[in-house]
């Protein structure tokens, strides 16, 4: 027993079974949340780049049907704005082929289809964000539970002693505080990442909606011509 | 699309795992670093230096090599200087001596010269004087001689006259003298004869007297010698007798002594034999007693062992029931405590003491607490209880 040797690993290995289980869960949560963070960084950067390149192509003044044909060739890779545009333009062409020439009805249909696509895209961007939120908000409580449990046990064992010195109390408390330390280690990156990612997703969502409005305005102008 | 997203997610998971493994490795390295620092810190704590005032002169520092060389050189120089001085002084002395000798010799020579001159002068003066005297004497002699010749001639004439008178008177005197001599010779011869007779008579008397004395002395000596021989014989006989008595007494005493010694030896041997028998009997008894004690001790040990085998596991089990594992592991810990029990197994208050600590104070304290809580312990009744009244107890979880 070397209480003087301060080491997170030693403390974790000497802790009781409940505390050890909590520590294991917290470590897994930390691993998964960091995986989600890396994944989101990649996805959001990809989405931003895709949106910029598509907007550039869209506003360069080319033919819309040509653009549509170009996008249709690699359907799988179209994400973000490109997916919304593809769905909207496909719906527009289909509605135009049917006999009705009611422009307003066509636009409404196109908008509805695009909103579905938008919602799907936003959903794709928001994957794992609730998990990060959960880890960030609950893991401190889980760690606190482990700490309380460990301190309870330490005080229970302390009941055997004739006189309770600081040297007898301190190791038990130190052991149990490891749980809080691990929990904070998992929670802090998760909270920061959640806040940042949700703001980025909101901005992208705004951008998509703007594009949707502008595209439907363009289609309405074409239909009235 | 779905598969791709899953694969990308797996890649992220891999990155995350790698990040955590790196963190854990950093922790492990940190552990090693800490241990080393702790060890270093421990050393530093033990090295306590107490400063105290010292007189700088008391600091008997060992001289450095340079100082030693310097000193050696200084000593060598001093020695050389000393030697040079010595030599210089010796040379100065020698030269002074030489100079003194030179001077002395010069002075001696001067003195010699002076003396020689003096002497020469004196001799010259003496010669001068002698010459003058000689001349004076020669002149005086010449005058004397002339006077002497004059006088001699006068005297010769007077002497001639006196010689004739003298001769006449001398012849008369010579005749007178011859007569007187003749008479004196006759008287002397008569006197001589008388004296010789007188002397011969005295001598004869003396010889007679001497012979008588000689004889008397010889007789006295013979008597003396006889008496001495007589006495010596008597003394020799007495001594002989005494010696014989002495010897007889000595032999008697020796015989007495031998007899006494003989008896003493016999008694000592008898005593010795008696003592040996006594001791052998005592040893035999002691041996017997020891064997009996050994047997008793063995029986006692066997009984204790049996009792221990029978009851210690029960006590261990009961203490284990009341033992609460202290914070921090106590896997291989083992503590030996001594405790006292009342009949019935009740632990005497404040009697539990740690004999051999496990090294972990928390573990020792938990064992002591468990023993107090486990009172009364399961122990036998009656005589079998005695070993458990005060005994050592080894506890390991």
Pairwise CB contact (< 8 Å): B38 & A35 = no
| The predicted structure's pLDDT at residue A225 | 63
Q: Tell me how close the Cα of B49 comes to any Cα of chain A, in angstroms.
A: 25
Mutation site for B-interface testing, chosen from A38, A42, A162 by largest number of B Cβ within 10 Å? A38
Listed by start position, the domains of chain B span 323-395
Pairwise CB contact (< 8 Å): A4 & B326 = no
Closest partner residue to B362 (CB to CB) among A35, A156, A168 is A168
Q: Tell me how close the Cα of B45 comes to any Cα of chain A, in angstroms.
A: 15
Q: Tell me how close the Cα of A210 comes to any Cα of chain B, in angstroms.
A: 26
Mean pLDDT value across residues B370-393: 81
pLDDT digits (tens, 9 = 90+) for B198-253: 999 999 999 999 999 999 999 999 999 999 999 999 999 999 999 999 999 999 99
B40 in contact with chain A, both atoms CB, cutoff 8 A: no
CATH for B323-395, options being 3.30.565.10, 3.30.1150.10, 3.40.50.11440, 3.20.20.70? 3.30.1150.10
pLDDT digits (tens, 9 = 90+) for B328-359: 666 677 888 888 888 888 888 888 888 888 88
Q: How confident is the model at residue B68 (pLDDT cuts 50, 70, 90)?
A: confident
Q: Tell me how close the Cα of A19 comes to any Cα of chain B, in angstroms.
A: 13
Query: At B46, is the secondary structure helix, strand, or coil?
Result: helix
How many of the other CB atoms lie within 10 Å of CB of B180? 10
Determine, yes or no, domain membership for A1: no
What is the residue-averaged pLDDT of chain B? 84
| The predicted structure's pLDDT at residue A122 | 92
Ranges A159-173, B6-20, B124-138, B275-289: which has the least confidence: A159-173
Burial of B6 (0-12, 13-18, 19+ CB in 10 A): exposed
Q: What's the rounded Cα separation, in Å, for the pair A173 and A155? A: 9
CA nearest A165 in B: which residue?
B362
Mean pLDDT value across residues A13-25: 86
Q: What's the rounded Cα separation, in Å, for the pair A161 and B362? A: 8
Which residues make Cβ contacts (< 8 Å) with residue A6, sequence separation at least 6?
A174, B34
How many of the other CB atoms lie within 10 Å of CB of A60? 8
Pairwise CB contact (< 8 Å): A158 & B365 = no
Bridge partners, B353 (sequence order) = B338
Tally of domains within chain A:
1
Q: How confident is the model at residue B40 (pLDDT cuts 50, 70, 90)?
A: very low
Determine, yes or no, domain membership for A87: yes
How many of the other CB atoms lie within 10 Å of CB of A40? 23
Range of the domain at A153: 8-224
CA distances from A14 to A11, A137, A153, A169, A176 (A): 5, 28, 13, 15, 10
What is the ipTM score, two decimals? Answer: 0.72
Q: What's the rounded Cα separation, in Å, for the pair A91 and A223? A: 13
Q: Which of B374, B373, B364 is nearest to B318 (CA)?
A: B374
């Amino acid at each position: 027993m070397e209480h003087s040797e301060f080491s997170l690993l030693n403390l974790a290995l000497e802790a009781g079974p409940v505390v050890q289980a909590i520590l294991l869960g917290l470590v897994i949560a930390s691993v998964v949340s960091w995986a989600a963070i890396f994944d989101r960084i990649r996805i959001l950067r990809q989405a931003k780049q895709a949106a910029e390149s598509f907007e550039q192509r869209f506003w360069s003044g080319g033919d819309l049907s040509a653009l549509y044909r170009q996008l249709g060739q690699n359907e799988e890779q179209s994400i973000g704005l490109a997916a919304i545009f593809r769905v909207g333009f496909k719906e527009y062409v289909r509605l135009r082929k049917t006999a009705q020439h009611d422009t307003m009805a066509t636009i409404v249909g196109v908008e509805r289809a695009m909103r579905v696509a938008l919602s799907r895209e936003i959903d794709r961007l928001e994957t794992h964000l609730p998990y990060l939120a959960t880890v960030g908000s609950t893991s401190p409580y889980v760690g606190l539970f482990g700490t309380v449990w460990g301190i309870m046990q330490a005080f229970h064992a302390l009941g055997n002693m004739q006189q309770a010195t600081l040297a007898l109390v301190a190791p038990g408390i130190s052991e149990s505080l490891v749980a809080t330390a691990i929990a904070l280690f998992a929670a802090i990156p998760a909270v920061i990442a959640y806040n940042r990612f949700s703001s980025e997703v909101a901005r992208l969502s705004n951008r998509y909606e703007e594009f949707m409005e502008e595209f439907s305005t363009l289609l309405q102008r074409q239909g009235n011509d | 699309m779905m598969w791709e997203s899953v694969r990308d997610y797996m890649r992220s998971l891999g990155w995350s795992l790698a990040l955590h493994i790196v963190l854990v490795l950093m922790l492990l390295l940190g552990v090693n670093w800490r241990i080393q620092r702790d060890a270093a810190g421990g050393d530093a704590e033990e090295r306590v230096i107490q400063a105290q005032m010292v007189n700088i002169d008391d600091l008997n520092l060992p001289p450095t090599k340079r100082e030693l060389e310097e000193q050696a050189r200084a000593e060598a120089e001093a020695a050389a200087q000393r030697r040079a001085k010595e030599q210089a002084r010796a040379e100065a002395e020698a030269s002074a001596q030489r100079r003194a000798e030179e001077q002395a010799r010069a002075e001696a020579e001067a003195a010699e010269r002076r003396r020689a001159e003096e002497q020469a002068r004196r001799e010259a003066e003496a010669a001068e004087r002698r010459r003058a005297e000689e001349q004076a004497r020669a002149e005086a002699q010449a005058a004397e001689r002339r006077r002497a010749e004059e006088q001699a001639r006068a005297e010769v004439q007077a002497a001639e006259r006196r010689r004739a008178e003298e001769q006449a008177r001398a012849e008369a005197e010579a005749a007178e003298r011859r007569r007187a001599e003749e008479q004196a010779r006759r008287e002397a011869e008569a006197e001589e004869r008388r004296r010789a007779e007188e002397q011969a008579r005295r001598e004869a008397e003396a010889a007679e007297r001497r012979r008588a004395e000689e004889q008397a002395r010889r007789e006295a000596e013979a008597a003396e010698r006889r008496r001495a021989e007589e006495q010596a014989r008597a003394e020799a006989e007495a001594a002989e007798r005494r010696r014989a008595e002495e010897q007889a007494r000595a032999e008697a005493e020796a015989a007495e002594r031998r007899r006494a010694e003989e008896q003493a030896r016999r008694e000592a041997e008898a005593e010795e034999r008696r003592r040996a028998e006594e001791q052998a009997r005592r040893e035999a008894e002691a041996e017997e007693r020891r064997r009996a004690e050994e047997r008793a001790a063995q029986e006692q040990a066997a009984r204790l062992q049996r009792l221990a085998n029978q009851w210690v596991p029960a006590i261990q089990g009961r203490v284990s029931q009341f033992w609460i594992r202290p914070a921090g592991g106590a896997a291989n810990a083992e503590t030996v405590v001594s405790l006292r029990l009342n009949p019935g197994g009740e632990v005497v208050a404040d009697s539990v003491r740690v004999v051999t600590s496990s090294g972990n104070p928390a573990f020792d304290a938990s064992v002591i607490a468990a023993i107090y809580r486990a009172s009364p312990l399961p122990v036998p009744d009656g005589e079998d209880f005695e070993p458990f009244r005060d005994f050592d107890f080894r506890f390991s979880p």
